[in-house]
Structures are given as C-alpha cells and as structure tokens.
Chains A and B, each alone.
Chain A
Amino acid sequence: MNEESNDFERALTRALRPVDPPERVARFLALAAEVEAERHLPRRERNHRWAFALSRPALPHLRIWATGAIAALVALSVFAGENVHRRHQQDIADRQFDTAVRVTDQALDHTRAQLLRSGIRLPE
C-alpha cells in the first residue's frame, strides 16, 4: 500500500513538473517594467531628462539654424501682412473712386436732361 502510494506521488510529481510560460509573457513584462520605471521616476528627474534632451551638445548648430529660420519666417509674415493690408486699402479707394465717378456722371446726365427740357443745351 505504501509502495503504491509512493508510486502515485512520484507520478504526481512528474505530472506537476514546472513548465515554461510562452515567450510573450516575458516580453510583456519587460515592456511593462520599462513603462513602470519611467512612470515612477521622480518628477524632477523626468524634467531633467527633457532639459538634457533639449540642451545636448549635438544641438547648437541646429538651434542657430532654427533661430534664423524663425526670424526669417516672422519677417516674411510681417511683410506679407503689410502687403495684403496695402492692397486691401487700395481696393477700397478704387471702389470709392468708381462710385464717385458713377454718381457724378449720373448727376451730370440728370442736370443736362433738366437743362435740355428747359431749352438750354450744354456743350459736350
């Protein structure tokens, strides 16, 4: 009976040998650990990392180039804005002049017609 019991327990130990999990378990955990590690960094340290990224030695020439590009863009925007504004003012002035000419022509025609009805003919 005891022998039989031992056999059964040995079979059970064989049946319950530890098995490896699928590889995706370790992959998931490695990724999760990195995310967790980043999340648990003190805020000061996280800010420092960003500051470090922005002030790397490799960046100065890029920063000069970027500053120039931004200045040029601002100047171009100001010039384009002024140009658009001037053109807009010119359009308004042209429209006002056209209206004035049309009104004047109509007034002249009206006056000429009245004078004509009164028997007075103005020279052309």
Chain B
Amino acid sequence: MALDATEFRRLVETHQRMVYSLALRVTGETGVAEEVAQDAFLALFRSADKLESEDHIRFWLRRVTVHRATDALRRRSHQPEAAAEEWMEEQHGEENAEALNAAVIALLEELLRALPEAMRVAVVLRYQEEMSPPEIAALLGQPLATVKSNLQRGLQLLRRKAAITMKEYVR
C-alpha cells in the first residue's frame, strides 16, 4: 500500500504509543526512544508499498522498532544498573500508599533496564505488547524455546532484584 501524507499521519496516530513505548522500554532513554520512533516511522513511509494490511504494518513496526532500539542500546555506554541504585537512594522519603505504588512501577521499569538485552526485549513484548511467546518468536525470528527461556530467566531476575531492592526500600 503506497502512503500519502494523510494516511501516514493516521498510521502515526494509531501506532505511536506502541512504537515509542517499545523503544523507551528497550533503550531506557526518552531522547533515544524519540529518535528510534521517528526512525521507525520514516522507514515505514519508505517501505509502505511492501506492506499489505494493518496487521502486517503493526508486526513490521514492532520488529523494526525492536531492532533499531537494540542497535541504539548497543551504541550507548550508559550503565542502567547504576541508575537503579541512584533512583533507590532518591526515593527513600516517600511514604504514602499511592506514592509507594508509583514507586514500585518506577522501580520495575528501572530494574527492567538493568536486564540483559535479549531478556528485556522478550519481557517488554510479553508484558507491554501482551504478545504470546510464539508471536514474539515470529517477530524476533528466534526459536520458541529461546524466547521462553529468555522470558523465564528475565522474570526470575526481575523478581529476585525486586525482592532485594524492596527489602532495602521498606527497611
């Protein structure tokens, strides 16, 4: 399907949340995520004649976004694990339940950034995009067993880190 500017705007409106959020969770930086999102949509504009349907576009956008985000991540020298520690020190003063809930969410996001790349991508696709393991395997072009293993190990690591950090947090 060839795109004109109006149709392209509609596709941006429809998919920008998904594309940006995927890029953000994989790269962990808003600026980089914006660049990845823009890049992915421009690539869509240039490749639109090869895409046949809305589902195909969504699948294609997810794949391109994940690939570009992981490329950006590899170019980056930032150490997310340290950022998580800094974040914990800053948040010790919060006490009410709502703030605690928000803090848990923020903490999980931070811990996610500290996961190895392959596990992080699998976890983001599973829990942000709510994709099944076979769908993730198809998107990433990986064996299903690899995806399942990455998901399982990613969750284990997250849970363990969260337990340790939360113990520190409520002490």
Contacts and interface: CB of A to CB of B under 8 A. Distances in A.
Interface of A: 5, 8-9, 11-22, 24-26, 28-30, 32-34, 36-37
Interface stretch (B17-25, B51-59, B90-98): B17-25
A86 B31 CA distance: 71
Given A17-B128, A19-B17, A20-B16, A28 B45 contact: no
Interface of B: 3-5, 8-9, 12-13, 16-21, 24-25, 30, 33-34, 37-38, 41-42, 45-46, 104-106, 108-109, 112, 123-124, 127-128, 130, 155, 158-159, 162
B105 A18 contact: no
Main secondary structure of the interface of A (DSSP, over half): helix
A12 B111 CA distance: 11
A29 B108 contact: no
Given A29-B8, A37-B5, A15 B105 contact: yes
A23 B156 CA distance: 36
Judged by DSSP, the binding face of B is helix
Given A18-B21, A21-B16, A22-B34, A33 B9 contact: yes
B13 A26 contact: yes
B9 A30 contact: yes
A3 to B, nearest CB: 13
Contact of A37 (B4, B42, B108): B4
B78 to A, nearest CB: 20
Contacts of A20: 16-17, 20
B127 A29 contact: no
A22 B42 CA distance: 17
Given A26-B16, A33-B3, 15 more contacts: A9-B155, A15-B105, A16-B21, A16-B112, A18-B17, A18-B18, A18-B20, A19-B24, A20-B17, A21-B20, A21-B34, A29-B8, A29-B42, A32-B42, A36-B45
